[in-house]
Amino acid sequence: MIAVDGFAAGDLPADEVAEPDLDGGGASTFSTDVFDLDGDGHYETTVRATDAGITVATDIDGDGVTDKFTAFGRDGQYRTWEIFREANGIGRGEMIEFGEL
Ligand SMILES: [Ca+2]
Ligand SMILES: [Ca+2]
């Protein structure tokens, strides 16, 4: 079972959100793919497959920092966070969606 429950939405550091520790023990990454889903020439979406599941990180505004992050577990559960950077530079995540595929 994937430990997405281990994600504390309040303390996701934006700089590290692209490589979350999904199982708490250091999931090994099998593949990383980048996509330009909206076709503007900027590859804003990073998809990583690990032994814990698949994560999708999207940098919507192209500033190099992930804005939206979704984790899909092997059990079919998914959760999406929106990442904010506060004035003091600290990233913060807020869960905006979750469910089962
Ligand atoms: Ca794009
Ligand atoms: Ca961004």
| Angstrom distances, CA of residue 76 to CA of 2, 61, 83, 99, 100 | 10, 29, 22, 8, 5
| Angstrom distances, CA of residue 48 to CA of 36, 87, 88 | 15, 29, 29
Ligand nearest to the CA of 62: 2
Contact yes or no for 79/98 (Cβ under 8 A): yes
Cα 64 to ligand 2 centre (Å): 5
Q: CA-CA distance, 49 to 67, in Å (whole number)?
A: 19
pLDDT 10s digits, 64-76: 889 999 999 999 9
pLDDT 10s digits, 19-78: 555 555 556 888 999 999 999 999 999 999 998 899 999 999 888 889 999 999 999 999
Q: CA-CA distance, 15 to 25, in Å (whole number)?
A: 19
Mapping DSSP to helix (H, G, I), strand (E, B) and coil, where does residue 49 land?
Answer: strand
The model carries a pTM of 0.68
Cα 1 to ligand 2 centre (Å): 30
